[in-house]
Amino acid sequence: MEPKASDKFLANGSTASAENEPSTTRDVTDIIGEYGPWQRLIFILTCLRGTPTAFYNLSTPFFAPKQDVWCTQPPFSNFSVAEWRNSAIPLEYHEGELVPSRCNMYEVLLVNDEPVINRNKTVPCSAWEYDNSFYTNTLTREYDLVCGRDWLISYTQSNYMAGMMCGVFIFGHLADRFGRRIILNISVTLMLIASVIAAFSPTFTFFSVARFFLALGVGGTQNTSFCLLMEVLGPIYRTRPTFAFSFGWAFGLLLLPGMTYLIRDWVYQQLASAAVSSILLSYWIFMPESPRWLMTQGKYEKAEKIMLKAAKRNNLEINNMPLMMKQLKERIERDERKKNPSVIDLFKTANLRKNTIFVYISYFSVAFVFYGLSLGQTNLGGNPFLNFFIGSAVELPAYVLCIIFIRYLPRKPSFLIFDMIGGIACFFMIPSEYPWVRITAAMLGKLCISGAFIILAIHASEIFPTVVRTVGSGTSLMMGRIGAMVAPFIKELGNATHPAVPAIVYGSLSFVAALLIALLPETYNQVLPDTICEAEELGCGLEEIQRIRSISDLHKEKGEVKMRMLQNGKEIKDPEV
């Protein structure tokens, strides 16, 4: 079999001639090459989005950090801060320790023009003062997110994740209709504008709306850039974007604690994130349209122009472009006549339905634990910036281990190793008199859950058949977003019940995911299913596969008997025939 021109280019970087081009053009990459300098530019541009995405996704712990707060003095009193806190603020139990109250104070009376503190009666705060010795301005202080309003901090993160989920759906649909490039550019611009507006929000409601639109842009940018990159890469390179995006994300997480340590005002932190995301405006200049999308829309001239430019950039000579375009057009038109997949197709058959439900629950569980650990890194005790940095740094070895595991180990053991160790580590995060045990367990848990997340994404994509793989993977990610939306409120649950509850929930959900993944079929070194029928047989034992096929053969045989009887003019009396 004659090798493709793109293969020769990848092998030695030499210029390929038209004589070595495939006789039948089946894919865009048969013309532009599977990977070369043209794709590398797109690869770099899409990886850039990882840093601002990390800033925006996990900035809440630094916008609203742990900060001392107490009731403000009445206007007629003139105590020093130390005197006021020592004499007018009662002590309350919080996580097993006596600490100054954040929400109550002793009643202060005016007697003979002198303030008198009545220690026999406490009253709720009407206003608050904040410790600004380290943080100059926080989201908590800006909108008084304390006491009965402290749950709004968790809502901020949940609202953001909801915006990301909506952005994936809205801009995903728009990108399919209007093109990858224009929607990607609009998403990037929306992200930048909303980020700046959020920094100058006059009210918390205004801030929440701005953050939601910011998340819409982030979701649209992430989803559309990923699709565009996948559509210009050859098949053997399409697993790499997952790792590339992960490394870009991890790089942003490593920068975030340093940036917030140097910039201790949440407004300037938000503006700094906007400045970083402004780099993505380069998409307007350098990001091309997907030639694959142009072909599916019948815009053949534009697609041909882009593909010729890409082939030239990749040192590929194309001398029979009209024939190759004709073959590609015929293949695309033939595929367009096929039935569009639907999420309902995932639930029509028993085995695929079971696998889909297990994947959905696992995605929810792993995303819940991942974001719960990520958002809680600054509340473990010790230096919050160092904790966050280490918690982010451990993701890098997780990605390296994933590359090794995916290549040499089956999917299920790979996931179980990461997930079970991570789940056990989460149980050791229960508050104790040894803070270092809790911090170490949290770091180990973050490393393992990060690896489990990547293994799960690859395993899930291999379980779904080709005809509904995009739908299956997309809806699985949606379940993960729902988990990320719920995760911020685990802190509120711990405050309302017991400090050990979040750790127990993290460990329990990890074990649930491990159990469900253990029940899924193994896909390592297996031929991926293309049809619903093949997906139904995936993971079945030999006897079950034979039963399925025998039933299928029996129905086929009965149909043939029916046809012969009808052709011979005989009456069919047996209802089973």
Contacts of 194 (CB under 8 A, 6+ apart): 210, 211, 213, 214, 216, 217
Compute the distance between CA of residue 26 and CA of residue 284 in angstroms, rounded to an integer. 30
- Mean pLDDT along residues 24-33: 81
What the block records as the tokens of 160 is 């953001």
Compute the distance between CA of residue 352 and CA of residue 536 in angstroms, rounded to an integer. 5
pLDDT of residue 225: 87
Compute the distance between CA of residue 179 and CA of residue 279 in angstroms, rounded to an integer. 21
> Using 50, 70 and 90 to split pLDDT, how confident is the model at 523?
confident
Q: How many CB atoms lie within 10 A of CB 436?
A: 11
> Using 50, 70 and 90 to split pLDDT, how confident is the model at 244?
low
Q: How many CB atoms lie within 10 A of CB 245?
A: 19
**DSSP class of 478:** H
Compute the distance between CA of residue 250 and CA of residue 247 in angstroms, rounded to an integer. 5
Span 11-28, pLDDT tens digits: 333 333 334 444 577 778
Residue with more model confidence, 572 or 239:
239
What the block records as the tokens of 557 is 């045989």
Percentage with pLDDT > 90 across the chain: 42
pLDDT of residue 243: 65
Lowest mean pLDDT among 157-161, 302-306, 538-542: 538-542
pLDDT of residue 321: 87
Span 467-493, pLDDT tens digits: 777 678 878 888 998 999 999 988 888
Span 551-565, pLDDT tens digits: 444 445 445 545 554
What integer best gives the mean pLDDT of the chain? Answer: 83
Two domains, one topology: 23-63+143-287 and 343-559? yes
pLDDT of residue 19: 41
- Mean pLDDT along residues 532-557: 56
Compute the distance between CA of residue 445 and CA of residue 440 in angstroms, rounded to an integer. 8
> Using 50, 70 and 90 to split pLDDT, how confident is the model at 541?
very low
pLDDT of residue 337: 55
Residue 153 and residue 379 in contact, taking contact as beta carbons nearer than 8 Å: no
pLDDT of residue 7: 38
Contacts of 148 (CB under 8 A, 6+ apart): 103
Question: Does the pLDDT at position 138 exceed 90?
Answer: yes
What the block records as the tokens of 454 is 């990547």
> Using 50, 70 and 90 to split pLDDT, how confident is the model at 215?
very high
Question: Does the pLDDT at position 358 exceed 50?
Answer: yes
What the block records as the tokens of 483 is 């988990």
pLDDT of residue 372: 92
Compute the distance between CA of residue 341 and CA of residue 472 in angstroms, rounded to an integer. 10
How many CA atoms are closer than 13 Å to the CA of 309, on its beta-carbon side? 12
For the four alpha carbons of 529, 531, 536 and 541, in that order, the dihedral sign comes to negative
Compute the distance between CA of residue 34 and CA of residue 27 in angstroms, rounded to an integer. 10
Task: Report the SS3 class of residue 134.
Answer: coil
**Backbone angles phi and psi of 170, in degrees to 5:** -65, -55
Type and span of the H or E element at 130? strand 128-130
Question: Does the pLDDT at position 279 exceed 90?
Answer: yes
Which amino acid is present at 217? G
Domain ranges of the chain: 23-63+143-287, 69-130, 343-559
Residue 375 and residue 494 in contact, taking contact as beta carbons nearer than 8 Å: no
CATH class for the region spanning 343-559: mainly alpha
What the block records as the tokens of 244 is 């590339």
* Alpha-carbon distances of 152 from 34, 69, 158, 207, 420, rounded to whole Å: 48, 16, 9, 12, 33
Highest mean pLDDT, choosing among 105-109, 322-326, 458-462: 105-109
Question: Does the pLDDT at position 514 exceed 50?
Answer: yes
pLDDT of residue 547: 45
pLDDT of residue 336: 59
- Mean pLDDT along residues 347-360: 92
CA Rg, the chain, in Å? 29
- Mean pLDDT along residues 251-260: 92
Compute the distance between CA of residue 356 and CA of residue 350 in angstroms, rounded to an integer. 10
Span 63-87, pLDDT tens digits: 999 889 999 999 888 888 888 998 8
Compute the distance between CA of residue 325 and CA of residue 16 in angstroms, rounded to an integer. 18
Which of these CATH numbers, 3.30.1450.10, 2.120.10.30, 3.40.50.1260, 1.20.1250.20, describes 23-63+143-287?
1.20.1250.20
Span 311-344, pLDDT tens digits: 999 998 887 888 888 888 887 777 655 556 678 8
Compute the distance between CA of residue 211 and CA of residue 106 in angstroms, rounded to an integer. 38
Cα–Cα nearest to 374, from 55, 48, 149: 55
Task: Report the SS3 class of residue 123.
Answer: strand
Beta pairing partners, 108: 117
Highest mean pLDDT, choosing among 254-268, 469-483, 519-533, 547-561: 254-268
Instruction: Classify 179 in phi/psi space as left (phi over 0), alpha (psi -120 to 50) or beta.
Output: left
Question: Does the pLDDT at position 462 exceed 50?
Answer: yes
Question: Does the pLDDT at position 223 exceed 70?
Answer: yes
Q: Report pTM.
A: 0.80
Compute the distance between CA of residue 460 and CA of residue 468 in angstroms, rounded to an integer. 12
Compute the distance between CA of residue 568 and CA of residue 416 in angstroms, rounded to an integer. 60
Contacts of 112 (CB under 8 A, 6+ apart): none
